[in-house]
Amino acid sequence: DELSRLFERLNKQYPGGDVGLFSIYFFNYIILNPGDAILLKANIPHAYLHGECIECMACSDNVVRAGLTPKFKDISTLIDMLDYAPLTIEQTKFRGKKTSENTTQFDPKQVSNIDDFIVEEIKGKNGIINAIDQPSLMIIVQGQGTMNEGKIHFNEANVFLIDKHTSIDFTSDNHLLAYRAYSLIQ
């Protein structure tokens, strides 16, 4: 079955009997596809096992490890801090919603009462990034081109602070993939 194959893969990736291998039988094993998102509240154990994702989180010190890592493990702290309430996949996983031709919005309020932040995926050869009422951070994941009528050049891995009430036009030489995050806390 799928968990047995996962166990074998992780055992090869973390040889030597890593205790984290057995955690897969106690977690929800969730596969995210492009356009999917997941909300993990504070003190919920999780692990990214394969692939790439964008992670946006509130200010936190939640990096406490117990397995599946070569880094320092602090099992007793992790046991004390965890939230052990059961959750279903439906309580955490959601899809982005298209808000404009180039923008898909991932809003945690779809599955919770958390309204701390929103993440937007911005794609396309050219278009407009709409103004919002908060400052935001945007990271260019793929593409190169110009913004604001050619005044600003962007490349992969560039990060921009966008002032509130500021819209941005962009033209990409190939295909832009960017993510913008902003806080809703006033």
N- to C-terminal Cα distance for the chain? 48
Query: Which is it for the CA torsion 110, 113, 114, 116, positive or negative?
Result: positive
155 neighbors 140 (Cβ within 8 angstroms): yes
Q: Is 9 one of the annotated active-site residues of the chain?
A: no
- Alpha helices (H) in 2-149, listed in sequence order: 2-13, 75-81
Cα 8 from Cα 1, distance rounded (Å):
11
List 5, 9, 65, 180, catalytic entry = 65
Q: What's the distance, CA 152 to chain centroid?
A: 26
Catalytic residues: 65
